[in-house]
Protein backbone atom coordinates (compact mmCIF):
# COMPACT_ATOMS: atom_id res chain seq x y z
CA UNK A 1 0.00 0.00 0.00
CA UNK A 2 1.21 3.50 -0.81
CA UNK A 3 0.46 6.61 1.21
CA UNK A 4 1.74 10.12 0.77
CA UNK A 5 2.77 12.38 3.55
CA UNK A 6 0.04 15.04 3.83
CA UNK A 7 -2.46 12.78 2.01
CA UNK A 8 -2.04 14.35 -1.44
CA UNK A 9 -3.90 12.82 -4.35
CA UNK A 10 -1.62 11.39 -7.04
CA UNK A 11 -2.76 14.06 -9.50
CA UNK A 12 -1.51 16.82 -7.20
CA UNK A 13 1.84 15.23 -6.32
CA UNK A 14 4.85 17.34 -7.12
CA UNK A 15 8.59 16.79 -7.15
CA UNK A 16 9.80 16.65 -3.58
CA UNK A 17 6.77 14.69 -2.31
CA UNK A 18 7.52 11.67 -0.15
CA UNK A 19 5.67 8.38 -0.60
CA UNK A 20 5.44 5.74 2.10
CA UNK A 21 5.10 2.12 1.02
CA UNK A 22 3.78 -0.41 3.53
CA UNK A 23 3.11 -4.11 3.19
CA UNK A 24 5.82 -4.78 0.61
CA UNK A 25 7.92 -7.89 1.26
CA UNK A 26 11.15 -6.26 0.09
CA UNK A 27 12.59 -3.15 -1.58
CA UNK A 28 11.99 -4.56 -5.06
CA UNK A 29 8.28 -5.00 -4.37
CA UNK A 30 8.09 -1.50 -2.89
CA UNK A 31 9.78 0.00 -5.96
CA UNK A 32 7.39 -1.91 -8.20
CA UNK A 33 4.41 -0.49 -6.29
CA UNK A 34 5.67 3.08 -6.73
CA UNK A 35 6.41 2.53 -10.43
CA UNK A 36 2.98 0.96 -10.99
CA UNK A 37 1.26 3.83 -9.19
CA UNK A 38 3.01 6.48 -11.27
CA UNK A 39 2.38 4.59 -14.51
CA UNK A 40 -1.30 3.87 -13.81
CA UNK A 41 -1.80 7.53 -12.87
CA UNK A 42 -0.09 8.67 -16.08
CA UNK A 43 2.56 10.57 -14.09
CA UNK A 44 5.39 9.90 -16.52
CA UNK A 45 6.86 13.29 -15.60
CA UNK A 46 7.88 11.99 -12.16
CA UNK A 47 10.61 9.61 -11.14
CA UNK A 48 11.45 8.34 -7.67
CA UNK A 49 14.30 7.10 -5.54
CA UNK A 50 14.52 5.22 -2.30
CA UNK A 51 15.46 7.44 0.67
CA UNK A 52 14.95 5.13 3.66
CA UNK A 53 13.34 1.85 4.70
CA UNK A 54 9.79 2.52 3.47
CA UNK A 55 10.07 5.95 1.86
CA UNK A 56 10.56 7.23 -1.67
CA UNK A 57 11.19 10.78 -2.85
CA UNK A 58 9.62 11.95 -6.11
CA UNK A 59 11.61 14.04 -8.54
CA UNK A 60 10.92 15.73 -11.85
CA UNK A 61 12.43 13.81 -14.73
CA UNK A 62 14.77 15.78 -17.00
CA UNK A 63 12.91 17.66 -19.72
CA UNK A 64 9.71 18.11 -17.67
CA UNK A 65 10.16 21.56 -16.20
CA UNK A 66 6.51 22.62 -16.50
CA UNK A 67 5.53 20.99 -13.17
CA UNK A 68 7.77 23.01 -10.91
CA UNK A 69 9.23 21.94 -7.61
CA UNK A 70 7.36 21.41 -4.35
Domain of residue 40, residue span: 2-64
Host H or E run for residue 55: strand 55-60
- Rg of the chain, C-alpha, whole Å: 11
Residue 31, helix vs strand vs coil: helix
- The pLDDT of residue 36 is 92
Residue 35, helix vs strand vs coil: helix
- The pLDDT of residue 8 is 52
Domain membership flag for residue 70: no
Domain membership flag for residue 58: yes
Domain membership flag for residue 52: yes
Domain membership flag for residue 55: yes
Domain membership flag for residue 9: yes
pLDDT < 70 positions in the chain:
1-11, 64-70
Q: Are 21 and 1 in contact (CB under 8 A)?
A: yes
Question: Domain total for the chain?
Answer: 1
Amino acid sequence: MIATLENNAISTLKPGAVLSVTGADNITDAQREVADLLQSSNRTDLGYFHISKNYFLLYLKPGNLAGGIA
